């Protein structure tokens, strides 16, 4: 069961990487204000620690209502908090506990009110 949970968590972590990341590698700041660039790590750390604390409300609090998760391997985007809730916390699913969550960032970029992150994660 732990392997299945780790696999599901790896999917969750990979999906979430489109929205948040913890450890910053290369940061491109063209188009982003320096205040935005400096605020991103605090949001990312809150997201990561909320998963480790099994705090669904804390995780949800790092997203806007119109957030879009961009899954890997051709999985369709998950659009909006209602869909994200159903994707990560379906009513009929067993509870998953995360004990490890490490993220790295390959790129942070954006312009105006839109930013994106690209990188990798490991979680279990």
- Whole-angstrom distance, CA of residue 16 vs CA of residue 50: 13
Counts of helices then strands in the chain (DSSP H, E): 4, 4
- Whole-angstrom distance, CA of residue 56 vs CA of residue 9: 14
Q: What is the mean pLDDT of residues 107-119?
A: 78
Identify the architecture of domain 2-123 in CATH.
Roll (3.10)
Give the residues across from 120 on adjacent strands: 104
pLDDT band at 56 (very low <50, low <70, confident <90, very high): very high
pTM: 0.70
List, for residues 75-93, the tens digit of each pLDDT value: 999 999 999 999 999 999 8
Backbone region of residue 30 per phi and psi (left: phi > 0; alpha: psi in -120 to 50; beta: other values): beta
Instruction: Give the whole-number percent of the chain exceeding pLDDT 70.
Output: 76
Instruction: Give the whole-number percent of the chain exceeding pLDDT 90.
Output: 35
pLDDT above 80 (res 43)? yes
List, for residues 5-14, the tens digit of each pLDDT value: 444 444 444 4
Name residue, tokens 């490490």: 102
Question: What is residue 54's predicted lDDT score, i.e. its pLDDT?
Answer: 94
Q: Which tokens hold the place of 6?
A: 């780790």
Residues in Cβ contact with 84 at an 8 Å cutoff, skipping those fewer than 6 apart = 60, 63, 67, 69, 78
């Amino acid at each position: 069961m732990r392997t299945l949970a780790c696999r599901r968590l790896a999917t969750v972590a990979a999906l979430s990487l489109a929205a948040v990341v913890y450890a910053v590698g290369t940061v491109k700041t063209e188009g982003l204000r320096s205040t935005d660039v400096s605020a991103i790590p605090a949001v990312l750390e809150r997201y990561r620690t909320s998963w480790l604390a099994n705090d669904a409300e804390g995780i949800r609090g790092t997203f806007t209502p119109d957030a879009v998760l961009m899954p890997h391997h051709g999985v369709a985007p998950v659009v909006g908090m209602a869909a994200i809730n159903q994707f990560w916390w379906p009513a009929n699913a067993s509870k998953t506990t995360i004990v490890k969550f490490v993220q790295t960032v390959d790129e942070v970029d954006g312009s105006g009110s839109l930013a994106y992150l690209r990188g990798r994660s490991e979680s279990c």
